[in-house]
Structure 1
Amino acid sequence: MQDEIVKLLKKENKISDETINEIKNFDVNDFSNVVKELGKEDTEYIKQSEITEGLDTSYIGKELYIYKEVSSTNTVAKFLSRHGVENGTVIISEKQTKAKGRSGKSWESPLGGVWLSIILNPNVDHSRLPLITLSTGVAVAKTLERIGVDNPEIKWPNDIMINGKKVCGILTEAVAKFNTIENVIVGVGIDANLEVNDFPKELQDGTTTLKKELGREGNENLLIKIFLEEFEKIAKIFYEKDYELILKEWRKRSYTIGKIVEVREPFNTYYDAYVVGIGKEGALIVEKIDGSLEKVISGECIIKN
């Protein structure tokens, strides 16, 4: 993380190689205020004033840091989470050069998308982290419904689909100390005003964008505002521990339940199964070929044709 923060500071001419060499015991944490100041500078496309005007939330997005370009909003969010930012602080970037995904995957996120991370202090056990990802999926789906997308679906555990193609990914990361969760970072990337050919060729067949599905460009700032409102609504339900309501909303929009999938669990355990449903803690329930039921807590599910 230190290397990526240093790159941000150097790119914005806030620090030089000579400065780093001259400072004994260089600690990037000494520059947390500079990183915050960068997030308050003017940007070209994403505008704080347009997001916050009329924003109907009590804490989500009340503190915003918006950047022209970062390696990953999750990385910046993890850094700032250790330096006195409020619960519900949102990190946004117009571009990402090394966006983070599940299983360590990374890619570039160009102009035209919505790339953001939310810093939460949820005071939860590790076992509840999957439900935060599912809750975020519901918030994204409801956001898309509000802007006119018909039937957005949620593919377990972290993708939003339109007409069978991915339009959004979610990455939830815990910031822990001595096995205690201090913060949770919720990263969201929505392919908004992009063309499908903006993506690497190997991803184009399985990817779509809001511009393509709606037949028009949308307002990225409005999209962010609506999402923050929907996220706070579902977060309230989560904090009230009405997990069954979250799961009900998720099941209504599930792209995965009822399908044959290839389950890819950690340590190269692969098998085919039928998706029966989802458990109360967010694990996928599948029926294996031998008829036994299995809980899938982490990994991927590849839909089989």
Structure 2
Amino acid sequence: MHDEIKKLLKNEKILSQDVINQIGNIDADEFSAIVKDLGKKETQHIKASEISKEQSTTYIGEKLYVYDEVGSTNTIAKFLSMQDDENGTVIISEKQTKGKGRTGKDWESPLGGIWLSIIIKPDADQSKLPLITLATGVAVAKALEKIGVENPEIKWPNDIMINGRKVCGILTESVSKLDKIENVIIGVGIDANIESSQLPDELQKITTTIKDELGRECDENLLIRIFLEEFEQINELFNHENYEKILKEWRKRSYSIGKKVEVRKPFDTPFDAYVIGINEEGTLIVEKFDGTLEKVISGECIIKN
């Protein structure tokens, strides 16, 4: 994490490479202030002033830091969260050089996408973490609906789909003590105005962009503002333990329920099954071909034709 902060300071020409080489362990209190100041500089495409204009949130995005380029917004968010940054702080970057997906996969993050992370401090235990991911998916889908995207769907556990192609991924990471969550970092990556040709060939077959779906570029700042508003609303449902309403909104937009999938669980042999639904904890329920039901707490479900 410290290497990421050093790289940011070097890229912004705050410190020379010679000085950085002499830094042993970064003094977190001193450097978190520098990192925040960098996030207040004017950027070319994504602008804090545009996002904040007419924004109706009370705490999500109240602290907003925007960068030209970072390795990963989740890394910056995690660093700031460990300095006790405020609940609802949002970190955005126009580009990421080391974007992260689930299970350590790389995430292509060129200019034109929306790459952001939110720091939240829920009063909940570790078992509720999957519900935060599901709630974030609902917030993304509702935001896309509001800008004219038809029928965005949510593929368990963390992908937003349009017409069967992925347009957004969500990466949720927690900082916990014992079973209690101290901070949650929610990374959201949306392929907004990216040119499909910018993506590797293998990704072009399975992903889409909002620009491709709408036939025009979307207003990235407006979409971020709408998403942050939707996220705050659904996060309040989570804070008040109104989990059933979150699950109801998720089920209405589910891409997975009823489909045949290949289930890949950590340290287990993959198997085929049909998706039955999700339970009150956000756990996926599948029916294996022998008729037995199984819970899938973590892993992947690959849709099969």
Q: Which TM-score tier does this pair reach, normalised by the shorter chain?
A: over 0.9
* Matching residue of 2:77: 77
Match runs of 1:178-217 below 5 Å = 178-217=178-217
Contact kept, 8 Å, 2:69 with 2:96, in 1: the verdict is yes
How far apart are the structure 2 equivalents of 1:18 and 1:255?
51
**C-alpha RMSD of the superposition:** 1.2
How far apart are the structure 2 equivalents of 1:249 and 1:11?
42
Alignment partner of 1:106: what SS? Answer: coil
Structure 1 77/249 Cα, relative in aligned 2: closer, same or farther at 3 Å?
same
Question: % of aligned pairs identical?
Answer: 69
Answering whether residue 133 of structure 2 is matched by residue 133 of structure 1, we say yes
How far apart are the structure 2 equivalents of 1:153 and 1:71?
28
Tell me the number of residue pairs that the alignment of Structure 1 and Structure 2 aligns: 304
* Matching residue of 2:168: 168
How far apart are the structure 2 equivalents of 1:122 and 1:281?
16
Match runs of 1:99-110 below 5 Å = 99-110=99-110
Structure 1 195/22 Cα, relative in aligned 2: closer, same or farther at 3 Å?
closer
Contact kept, 8 Å, 1:144 with 1:152, in 2: the verdict is yes
Match runs of 1:153-164 below 5 Å = 153-164=153-164
Contact kept, 8 Å, 2:123 with 2:239, in 1: the verdict is no
Alignment partner of 1:275: what SS? Answer: strand
How far apart are the structure 1 equivalents of 2:26 and 2:56?
38
Contact kept, 8 Å, 2:124 with 2:180, in 1: the verdict is no
Structure 1 145/85 Cα, relative in aligned 2: closer, same or farther at 3 Å?
same
Contact kept, 8 Å, 1:6 with 1:28, in 2: the verdict is no
Q: CA deviation at 1:16?
A: 2.5
Contact kept, 8 Å, 2:261 with 2:273, in 1: the verdict is yes
Q: CA deviation at 1:11?
A: 1.2
How far apart are the structure 2 equivalents of 1:179 and 1:28?
28
Q: What amino acid sits opposite 2:50 in the alignment?
A: E
Q: Deviations over 1:138-161 (max 9, x none)?
A: 000100110111111000000000
How far apart are the structure 2 equivalents of 1:180 and 1:131?
15
* Matching residue of 2:271: 271
* Matching residue of 1:288: 288
How far apart are the structure 1 equivalents of 2:113 and 2:254?
24
Q: Deviations over 1:68-110 (max 9, x none)?
A: 0000100000001122421100000000001111001113301
* Matching residue of 2:95: 95
Alignment partner of 2:107: what SS? Answer: strand
Q: What amino acid sits opposite 2:8 in the alignment?
A: L
Q: What amino acid sits opposite 1:140 in the alignment?
A: V
Please, which moves more after superposition, 227-236 or 80-89?
Answer: 80-89
Q: Deviations over 1:217-245 (max 9, x none)?
A: 11100000000000011011111111111
Q: TM-score, normalised by structure 1?
A: 0.97
Q: TM-score, normalised by structure 2?
A: 0.97
Q: Deviations over 1:17-45 (max 9, x none)?
A: 3223445x432524111111110111000
How far apart are the structure 2 equivalents of 1:21 and 1:112?
33
